[in-house]
Structure 1
């Protein structure tokens, strides 16, 4: 086995500009397939999409990655070359079915669609489709509605049709997040087709959309057999210059990881999605297989429940931070294929500061802080996701390390349903968690750590942090934002509601005939750049 490594890539950040899309762009040396292209890329996936409806789908990595490739998105990230590899460029938002998306003040944005844009049905893509799609999103009060609230879009009346090709988005305030939020939210449905399948009881055609693909993006869905296979065809009408490079992509559901590995080894598939870290490592030495390894912003971390004793004392939380076996986790669990973040903000995210977590393993310092807090003979359960070899290994290493400072840790595996329920109830004193940031911005991340936030597993509440995050919503100057986030990270370093452990690299096992990989900042593989020799 050989490894394609991008090493320490630097992910560019979002900066508010008055025009984020204009002319189309492309990756150097790449052109869209011509009409005679016949290449086929075969991808094994661990599951069939739980739903074809992006407005209502729950967290489903296969479905969400598929949607990025088949839904008609109006804008998306560009690509940049860094350290010998290519990554999605969050500073460079390119048009797809949009001709432009502009603003004079960062508050009122004008979207202009391309002329002669059509859905696979033959229906034109119009401003009415955009309006209907976003009205549907607000009605769903789920995915898009949630992230739109971060940029001051909370009411469908803020989105208005100007003419057949023009839509305005009137935010409550200017936001530096707008370019990236819209890059993940500006997809549209064929509203004419959807209305044909709507009923009085189901005005948004949710039942029909869950079972039938919405396509017209980079790829169209040519065939689909529920639970088994999906065949995608490059959309010849796709307007951007960096359109799909492979004509056909065949996604085959292989629920057994061992069977998926065998298919890759035998050359029966070209890419194996969904394999665990150990399963990928086991492919080492296999002829014809390569492991693409590129830095990601996925964070592995331990939240401590700041609302219950003894973790309501910051001295105890600081002691636990000093006791953690950071280097051993990276070397043992990840085989060195991870980086250690020195902040709850991921490495490479604009605003990341190494002052955000000034803790190295120091047993003596941990013992001294526990003594200062008057805590001894502490016992705590460490919850983690059952059947995750990675998290189980981390739990055992943490158990051993904390025993050295007098803390008894009991690793406690919980199945996904039980873990989710206890997280909802916020009654886990200590747990292992992970997160992938879809928006490469500290403001987006910190919204999850304000008082009462859904993902605030630590029950963390700090009035200064809450005020800073609230102030950030209308702050667009990059220098001012960076200064604000530096202060927030210093506060986290003092309060230690969460202990960042590692940022494992994104690993993708492929046949050595596959090329064109672009590191997805959001973890959702962009198939359009992939080619097969």
Structure 2
């Protein structure tokens, strides 16, 4: 493992401004313009503010490409046919030029690259870093405080401006250092242009959150959003002053095409360079025809079904376990995902130092056992419930249908409710769904983060509304064990996973490969743990 404490070489940057998008535009894109990519996708972000709407593929891709973090995990070449991907155990500079770690391993001091320029044209300062962290932790709708513990819990004391070019982060235990660096390398911890947001703040909204919901350009990312037509398209323009260098692709036209088959055909015909959120069957057809590139990775993205544990019928663990036995995993892998889904015995990176997979197993199908379990628990009639699914995500709709058919044979009466993206995100946040289909991931692959992400009590993304003492205790014991990558901590992460497998608040169906396709002449794809595309890495062959 590479040691996370290291200094960076400074990265030079040419200062340049970019247009602040303040409203909708009706200007059209020129598909044939040099340096332009067309990306077709199923939907648009419901908000430009991470603190009010952090979930959904399109939102995650927006945050990645318009924002920047202090550090990042570097990209490395894949092996055994896997695509280029992140090295999760090393870090390199973005907005920080270097960092130092105190002798007691409690204080991380970041030296900032103050030549970095936001898409609004302002240079980076330490005030931007402190302001950004304050906003993330003090906005009532933000999930950051839930996903940061125990590494970061009190930004007032843990994040300190040393001078205009230097900021320190302090942790309470040296064991939290790796997790802290992993957090700071990912998009939930993007640094914002405080000058822009302060200009649009009010006494009731001191961080400009309301303004930023509909105004995009307050980040230090590779691209500015320069044209936005709701429901139709978004146009990104390269930030000439991006800290890592101006991207090769100067213009990204992201078009909304609701039908997945049509998105696939647009790549096949050459009218789009990239299509996202495809059906696996269409991906396989494109690859077999050599019409597009489809990548294989060591995926951390899982197809899963959260079950609301605080209301009937899933407040009964026996019902949850019976449903897990009723899911037709192998059929879903072969029929829905055409081999692009694999079993999931563990939520954690099995290649991580200290990983302990003892006693962990993927879910299996046994309809007869499921029915017997329900009968033994006193259910004399079929157990009725509804699976809610986003109608913009075809593979999840097909998975829900497969579950409905198989579960009906195992003693369940399943209804499927397909809703639009906005209604789906609202229902998830409100925890009104009995069951829902999701495709998600943990962007930070530190074990305590992964295990806490969807199960921290009170968190808005704890969709099962699951609060279990044994799980909480195991995670706390792992945090207390020292280095999260050591064997002692690994044993506690194993114990936590066993609680999840025995209590079944969420049914994990499998690890899914990236569901996108790239034209044959597109270069630069790198798999990320947030499962989105880093536009700054892309180029065309021969250019």
Deviation at residue 513 of structure 1 after TM alignment:
0.5
Counterpart secondary structure, 2:131: helix
Distance (whole Å) between structure 2 residues aligned to residue 53 and residue 452 of structure 1: 21
Counterpart secondary structure, 1:466: helix
* CA distances 1:288-327 after superposition (whole Å, capped 9, x unpaired): 4333343422222234455566655545544443333211
Task: Look up the match of 1:42.
Answer: 38
Distance (whole Å) between structure 1 residues aligned to residue 312 and residue 224 of structure 2: 54
Distance (whole Å) between structure 1 residues aligned to residue 380 and residue 208 of structure 2: 59
With 384-393 and 75-84 compared, the bigger mean Cα shift is at: 384-393
Matched, 1:62 2:58: yes
Distance (whole Å) between structure 2 residues aligned to residue 194 and residue 362 of structure 1: 54
Matched, 1:516 2:524: yes
Matched, 1:94 2:102: no
* CA distances 1:413-449 after superposition (whole Å, capped 9, x unpaired): 1425665666556565544343221211331232222
Counterpart secondary structure, 1:355: coil
CA, structure 1 residues 203+491, in 2 after alignment: closer, same or farther (shift >3 Å)?
closer
Task: Look up the match of 1:415.
Answer: 419
Distance (whole Å) between structure 2 residues aligned to residue 472 and residue 280 of structure 1: 40
Matched, 1:402 2:382: no
CA, structure 1 residues 51+426, in 2 after alignment: closer, same or farther (shift >3 Å)?
closer
> Which segments of 5 or more consecutive residues in structure 1 lack a partner in the other structure?
1-14, 26-31, 33-37
Task: Look up the match of 1:167.
Answer: 167
Matched, 1:468 2:474: yes
Task: Look up the match of 1:103.
Answer: 101
Deviation at residue 208 of structure 1 after TM alignment:
5.0
Task: Look up the match of 2:250.
Answer: 248
With 368-377 and 109-118 compared, the bigger mean Cα shift is at: 368-377
Distance (whole Å) between structure 1 residues aligned to residue 55 and residue 435 of structure 2: 23
Task: Look up the match of 1:28.
Answer: none
CA, structure 1 residues 129+97, in 2 after alignment: closer, same or farther (shift >3 Å)?
same
Matched, 1:154 2:154: yes
Task: Look up the match of 1:339.
Answer: 342
Distance (whole Å) between structure 2 residues aligned to residue 473 and residue 77 of structure 1: 22
Contact 2:192 2:220 in 1 (8 A): no
Task: Look up the match of 1:501.
Answer: 509
CA, structure 1 residues 231+306, in 2 after alignment: closer, same or farther (shift >3 Å)?
closer
Contact 1:380 1:410 in 2 (8 A): yes
* CA distances 1:73-96 after superposition (whole Å, capped 9, x unpaired): 221111122324211121112111
CA, structure 1 residues 514+317, in 2 after alignment: closer, same or farther (shift >3 Å)?
same
Counterpart secondary structure, 1:397: helix
CA, structure 1 residues 254+493, in 2 after alignment: closer, same or farther (shift >3 Å)?
closer
Distance (whole Å) between structure 2 residues aligned to residue 18 and residue 347 of structure 1: 19
Deviation at residue 244 of structure 1 after TM alignment:
5.5
**TM-score under structure 2 normalisation?**
0.80
Distance (whole Å) between structure 1 residues aligned to residue 248 and residue 316 of structure 2: 56
Deviation at residue 109 of structure 1 after TM alignment:
1.8
CA, structure 1 residues 420+268, in 2 after alignment: closer, same or farther (shift >3 Å)?
closer
With 292-301 and 274-283 compared, the bigger mean Cα shift is at: 274-283
Matched, 1:297 2:300: yes
Distance (whole Å) between structure 2 residues aligned to residue 321 and residue 46 of structure 1: 29
Task: Look up the match of 1:4.
Answer: none
CA-based RMSD of the aligned residues comes to: 3.5
Task: Look up the match of 2:132.
Answer: 133
Instruction: Name which of 519, 523, 540 aligns with 1:532.
Output: 540
1:70-85, aligned counterparts within 5 Å? Answer: 70-83=66-79, 84=81, 85=83
With 506-515 and 395-404 compared, the bigger mean Cα shift is at: 395-404
CA, structure 1 residues 384+196, in 2 after alignment: closer, same or farther (shift >3 Å)?
closer
How many residues align? The count is: 503
Deviation at residue 119 of structure 1 after TM alignment:
4.1
Contact 1:194 1:205 in 2 (8 A): yes
Deviation at residue 276 of structure 1 after TM alignment:
4.4
CA, structure 1 residues 198+286, in 2 after alignment: closer, same or farther (shift >3 Å)?
same
CA, structure 1 residues 42+494, in 2 after alignment: closer, same or farther (shift >3 Å)?
closer
With 514-523 and 151-160 compared, the bigger mean Cα shift is at: 151-160
With 272-281 and 322-331 compared, the bigger mean Cα shift is at: 272-281
Task: Look up the match of 1:323.
Answer: 326
**TM-score under structure 1 normalisation?**
0.81
Counterpart secondary structure, 1:506: coil
Matched, 1:384 2:388: yes
Contact 2:130 2:159 in 1 (8 A): yes
Contact 1:151 1:473 in 2 (8 A): no
Task: Look up the match of 2:30.
Answer: none
Matched, 1:22 2:30: no
Q: Which has the higher strand share?
A: 1
Counterpart secondary structure, 1:472: helix
With 247-256 and 500-509 compared, the bigger mean Cα shift is at: 247-256
Contact 1:40 1:532 in 2 (8 A): no
* CA distances 1:341-393 after superposition (whole Å, capped 9, x unpaired): 12455766774636333643234544554454454433222413153543343
CA, structure 1 residues 323+267, in 2 after alignment: closer, same or farther (shift >3 Å)?
closer
